Amino acid sequence: MAKISREDFTCVAATNASAYRHVTVPVLKIDAGPGPAVALLAGVHGDEWEGQAAILQLWQLLPGILQRGTVYLLPAANAEASLAGTRLSPSDDGNLNRAFLGAPVRGYTESVAAALQARLLPRIQAMVDVHSGGASLRYLPSSVITRYGDDALDARLPALARAFGLPQCVFFRGTESGSLPAAASRLGVLRLSAEIGGGRETSLALVQRCRDGLLGCLAELGLLPAAPPRQASASPSLHDLHPSVATLRARERGVFVPAVELGQTVIAGQHIGQLIEPARPDQPVRDLASPQAGTVVCLRAIARSDDGDCLLQVAPALPLDSLASLY
């Protein structure tokens, strides 16, 4: 039977209404003896629910089934933002996924990042960090591979993405040194992320796919005997979202009326929707065209949009085995 212990930590999160306020980040350590140490995290952005709900399910399930190694579960890594249902930390507007910047620590968000960097990352060999589109975006369920320089662990990422079992895998070239995956990479931690759902809502079906994907990753890493039974899925298609041509942004204010759906295949220049301004009926409708051919992987979930907002991400489906060619 695995040994269970709480490894919660507390950070100061002062506000105008509460000078010495504390926020506690819950952490469960499940120790099943020799083997790798792995962290499963969600809620780095507080309004991204699928991973948070899935890891809360594992909080109950995993102590009874973990075969070897150690798992740290963090269902709400940014607990303050999760409690508020916001992407950023309410007390300092910090983005936890940009806060791994080292000393000096300024405010709550960087305190959480510093605690994760000091207390968690040195104790693990691998982590899976689950995100979603949050309030403003919706994603096709996708694992996420981000590259940070010449990382010797990257060769293991396609197998981990397959083990997650989602039909898409998104690729980014990591340009943010302050992100959690970047910090993990600097400390030699194998790391996979995911983008699952979004749009200020969630569903049990998405939560269970996420939970089963996390169990699949633990099996791939050798902590469970086998992945749970589920539909046999083909190797995920790979979508390179790093080039600027993969993202369509609004260039003015308007109400976004998409004419495409998530998962739809489009050609370059295809009409994908309009930006309209109902309160200014004399203003011309702005027709929007897909910046390139591919699969619609991400769509804005809030109709009212502003200059610079991401409206859509689209990229061709490549074989996962072509990942090395993107490096």
Instruction: For residue 254, give both structure tokens.
Output: 């308007």
Among 45, 191, 211, 300, binds Zn ion (CB under 5 A): 45
Give dist(CA 261, CA 311) in Å, integer: 12
Report if residue 138 touches Zn ion, rule: CB under 5 A.
no
Beta carbon nearer to Zn ion, 129 or 220 = 129
CB-side exposure of 153: number of CA atoms within 13 Å?
Answer: 20
Site string for Zn ion, 47-66 (x = CB under 5 A): -x------------------
> CB of 7: closest distance to Zn ion in angstroms?
23
> CB of 213: closest distance to Zn ion in angstroms?
16
Taking residue 304's Cβ as centre, other Cβ atoms within 10 Å add up to 10
Binding window for Zn ion (CB under 5 A); candidates: 10-18, 25-33, 123-131, 155-163: 123-131
> What one-letter code names the amino acid at 247?
T
Give dist(CA 38, CA 22) in Å, integer: 27
Say if residues 9 and 115 touch (Cβ distance below 8 Å): yes
> CB of 142: closest distance to Zn ion in angstroms?
12
* Residue 181, CA distances (Å) to 26, 96, 116, 148, 173 in order: 20, 11, 12, 9, 11
Binding window for Zn ion (CB under 5 A); candidates: 107-115, 131-139, 224-232, 235-243: 131-139
Give dist(CA 123, CA 163) in Å, integer: 23
Beta carbon nearer to Zn ion, 131 or 191 = 131
Judged by CB under 5 A, the number of residues near Zn ion is: 3
Binding window for Zn ion (CB under 5 A); candidates: 9-17, 126-134, 197-205, 297-305: 126-134
Report if residue 131 touches Zn ion, rule: CB under 5 A.
yes
Give dist(CA 285, CA 129) in Å, integer: 40
Binding window for Zn ion (CB under 5 A); candidates: 124-132, 235-243, 251-259, 302-310: 124-132
* 3-class DSSP state of 42: strand
> CB of 129: closest distance to Zn ion in angstroms?
9
* Residue 281, CA distances (Å) to 253, 276, 285 in order: 14, 9, 9
Beta carbon nearer to Zn ion, 31 or 48 = 48
**Contact set with Zn ion (CB under 5 A):** 45, 48, 131
